[in-house]
Chain A
Amino acid sequence: MERHGLLSYLVGFVLAVVLTAIPFYLVASHALPPSRTMIVIAVAAVLQILVHLRFFLHLNFTTTPKENLLAIAFTAVLLFLMVGGSLWIMIDLHSRMAI
């Protein structure tokens, strides 16, 4: 049990270091064109957030209480609606004002 917990934090730490080092290296070295680097940054960020949720906050589908999973799913929907909707409106407005 104890060993399992230690392993969880160490695996999470190593994965987080790798997922941090890749985007920082790409920005420092300009190894890829900016548009591709942006895609790598976004993918690495999403993966790293999942790594933190799994290995540091210990979220999973067996031991985490249903209420907590429901709350995080609801928050994800809220964020999708509010952030996505606001960006949609503001970017649309921006392009119309620019004419």
Chain B
Amino acid sequence: MHAGFTRAAALAVVMCGLGAGSALAQEKIVISQWDAYWPADLLANFTKETGIQAEWAVQIDNEDMMGKVTASGGKGYDVVFASSPFVEALAHLGLIAELDHSKIPNLANLFKEAQELPYDPGNKHSVPYTWGTTGLCYRSDLMKAAPTSWNDLLKPADELKGKITMLSTDRWLMAAGLKDLGYSVNSTNADELAKTKDLLIAAKKNLLAYDDTTFYSKLVSGEATLVHAWDGWCNFGVAENAAIKFVIPKEGSDLFVDTMVVTAASEHKDAAHAFINYVLRPDVHASIMAFTLYKVPNQKAVDLVDKNLLTTYPTLAITSETLFQQELLRDLGDNQKDFTRVVTEILAAQ
């Protein structure tokens, strides 16, 4: 049809960032994204600047997103947010489009590490949105000594017993034990999984609870003293009590990347690219960092962010070098089945 014209218009939008009245203005894209994972006015601002309508389809989690996208073959969605192991799965299933870098000039703003991620070197079909790690989030005012190791969580001192929570989401629950024992977070070795299982079952006795969603409020209330947490979510606790601190255990941890992809079935690929380019604009990505309290893989955005934010929330100051010393979570493919069984055994252990 008017492919040439549309592409030119898209480029114009991309270049100047304000293209109301262009051919794209008539378009509407649907974006599948988690709740509260971007500033509330982001879509409205995007529409104001580009004229592209954007509809937000809330996803509960990666699995919910996978269900929606695999069931429809990606039809009905233009941009989808997904954690990196799921990007691998989506790519294997052929559900996501190869990106046209000429339409995303802001890719140049990314940290160099973010341009060479092992699951998608060169950002062929995914663009990192946020990244982070898991570690120990704790009440420094209630602990005698600051925790340094996964052992502080898994083999706690007496005064911490019954005041600890752990994540129960399979990959992260296992990562704590695997890393403590010096194994890979992506291990599928039966012997290593068995040893990790024994360690995590023994650790279960000392837990207050498994908690994937409200661990920070348990720290604030004092119900818990030490919790296993994603760095960004630990900050929700820090916001309420400055005595709450975060540390990456010395044995190392995982690296997770949440990304944006364009579905292969999208009928508005130019508009979808324009959206990704908009997110990567330094001021926009910086506002996302300030809102979500997760690190963003965007060098120019980090340079732009208010320095007070980095002192208030020290996890935001973790450098991309430190982050890359952690181990990237990879999709486990067929081995996921054995992995899940081990997790079930741990969670079912009395």
Q: Does B associate with A? A: no
Interface residues of A (CB under 8 A from B): none
